[in-house]
A and B are shown apart, each in its own frame.
Chain A
């Protein structure tokens, strides 16, 4: 009987899909584990942490005990600063990384100039750049943005480069046969051909921007989500740490989703190809 009822139930949009249910269960399981770890774990260290209930109560408190909740203006100032820094770094990385990657992939000379330098600089973790960044730049703000920018820039450049390299030689030859100039080839072959990889790179860059941003903010900033996480640790305001982390997760997810959405809009042909492959 249930097998007959199931299809009609699924056609109702109010009934959540199997995927949504599973995702919800996973989330619920995590919250239960968290609660259990705080209250029933034999390890003392776990018992110090705030439980999920405490966090939600503080997060939605019109009069937050530690000053940060969705009703506090400060909360949005911190979100604004972090988002502004992440986006500024991201767009700077795109502006410089995409053209550099394209020319490195397309012109062997540019590749020869830049490739080994980049592969030496790339493994240096963002935190290692912080002292240099503070020495180099006049204020905290550009220093944090610089550190955040670096990782996003490497991700963008490298993925764009791989994207151009992965374009079959025959596309270049076909374009040349049909009378395309170098500029046409750049516009009609190199850029669209590398676009799927460019967008993979942008998604990685967006993620990388957020994680290096928080590292930068923890060390050298007066605002931002990384700052409140670190500051709350120092001030023993543990629920606020978790509020900061959860907010980072949300904002990071939303910005990556935005990049994906733009990518899909720009590459109708690629979606179609993926659709065929499935």
Chain B
């Protein structure tokens, strides 16, 4: 499934071709927090090669270090061992100051649209600040993208508080994508949503991915969601976070809900459920020990 040359051509319904940039090499990454002398190992010896344009979901129990990993990739946090390369250029290694930037845009768990800016100003913010194009051109592109995602152009002049949470997430994803990042980092973006909303969001996200294919790292604790969306699902162990399982999801795109009843899917799911529940159990038992 990593062989793009033979996959569907980028027609109206097909997946856009694999982008040239966005190859992530995460090798032997470790992160130790040492706030008061008692070292806490959040991530340990984590390695992952992500091809440009791959959709990778990282699943694991709460506190397994998946958000730590995302913060390192985003440039919000340092790492204590190992190295992260983006298209061969070092992004993070011990001693390198973390530096966020528009080549790796994050969509945040609790939403981070600026409440004091309209939807349009939020979406164009990156393009205007990076001086990539004149404001009028940025606005035109923003309106195009908003219109293509379920008529969001209708609410371009509203402040985010006027929008439903689903609309806010879609706007935030567009605010990230419009910068043409090499990597899109999604930190449990649909966590607080009910199933119906989540399904709608998945459809929108997959449609955006189909049109503007980027490397996506999608953090979640929802296994079904991970399997439905991603090309690869990485199961992490409970703290210290290590890779437990690397599952290739060989389901064709575009993905449909019907596929989730197929034998191929159910077999994958079974394998993943066992791995995830083992880790959840371990996390739970450790929690009990720590409480005692």
Asked whether A179 lies within 8 Å of B129 as measured between CB atoms, the reply is yes
Asked whether A184 lies within 8 Å of B129 as measured between CB atoms, the reply is yes
Separation in Å of the A170 CB from the closest CB of chain B? 4
Q: Does A174 contact B (CB under 8 A)?
A: yes
> What B residues does A107 contact at CB under 8 A?
none
Asked whether B129 lies within 8 Å of A170 as measured between CB atoms, the reply is no
- Known pairs A170-B108, A268-B159, A276-B162; A192 contacts B114 (CB<8 A): yes
Asked whether B159 lies within 8 Å of A171 as measured between CB atoms, the reply is no
Asked whether A168 lies within 8 Å of B159 as measured between CB atoms, the reply is no
Separation in Å of the A68 CB from the closest CB of chain B? 46
- Known pairs A177-B105, A177-B106, A184-B129; A273 contacts B161 (CB<8 A): yes
> What B residues does A273 contact at CB under 8 A?
115, 159, 161
Find residues 190-209 in chain B having any chain A CB closer than 8 Å to their own CB.
Answer: none
Q: Does A267 contact B (CB under 8 A)?
A: yes
Contact with B along A160-173 (1 / 0, CB 8 A): 00000000101101
Q: Does B55 contact A (CB under 8 A)?
A: no
CA distance in complex: A189, B112 (Å)? 11
Interface centre among B100, B116, B125, by most A CB within 10 Å?
A: B116
Contact with A along B200-241 (1 / 0, CB 8 A): 000000000000000000000000000000000000000000
- Known pairs A170-B112, A189-B114, A269-B116; A177 contacts B100 (CB<8 A): yes
Contact with A along B108-146 (1 / 0, CB 8 A): 101110111100000001100110000000000000000
CA distance in complex: A99, B75 (Å)? 29
> What A residues does B112 contact at CB under 8 A?
168, 170-171, 173-174
CA distance in complex: A276, B161 (Å)? 7
CA distance in complex: A268, B118 (Å)? 10
Asked whether B130 lies within 8 Å of A269 as measured between CB atoms, the reply is no
CA distance in complex: A170, B100 (Å)? 12
Q: Does A133 contact B (CB under 8 A)?
A: no
Give the total of B residues in contact with A, Cβ under 8 Å: 27
Interface centre among B101, B105, B112, by most A CB within 10 Å?
A: B112
CA distance in complex: A176, B101 (Å)? 6
> What B residues does A268 contact at CB under 8 A?
159
Q: Does B170 contact A (CB under 8 A)?
A: no
> What B residues does A192 contact at CB under 8 A?
114, 116-117
CA distance in complex: A272, B105 (Å)? 28
Asked whether A173 lies within 8 Å of B76 as measured between CB atoms, the reply is yes
CA distance in complex: A160, B74 (Å)? 29
| Residue among B74, B76, B101, B159 making CB contact with A179, cutoff 8 Å | B101
In this complex, what residue of B is CB-closest to A180? B129
Q: Does A74 contact B (CB under 8 A)?
A: no
| Residue among A173, A267, A276 making CB contact with B74, cutoff 8 Å | A173
CA distance in complex: A168, B75 (Å)? 17
Asked whether B110 lies within 8 Å of A168 as measured between CB atoms, the reply is yes
CA distance in complex: A237, B121 (Å)? 61
Find residues 179-222 in chain A having any chain B CB closer than 8 Å to their own CB.
Answer: 179-181, 184, 188-189, 192-193, 195
| Residue among A168, A189, A272 making CB contact with B161, cutoff 8 Å | A272
CA distance in complex: A178, B127 (Å)? 8
In this complex, what residue of A is CB-closest to B187? A170
Asked whether B114 lies within 8 Å of A171 as measured between CB atoms, the reply is yes
Q: List 15 A-B contacts (CB under 8 A).
A: A168-B110, A170-B111, A177-B102, A177-B104, A178-B175, A179-B126, A179-B130, A180-B129, A188-B114, A192-B116, A192-B117, A269-B159, A269-B161, A272-B162, A273-B161
Chain A to chain B: the 10 pairs with minimum beta-carbon distance, closest first: A178-B126, A174-B112, A170-B112, A179-B130, A273-B161, A192-B116, A176-B100, A179-B102, A269-B159, A269-B116
Residues of B within 8 A of A (CB): 74-76, 100-102, 104-106, 108, 110-112, 114-117, 125-126, 129-130, 159, 161-162, 175-176, 179
Assuming A175-B125, A177-B105, what are 4 further A-B pairs, CB within 8 angstroms? Answer: A171-B112, A184-B129, A195-B116, A267-B116
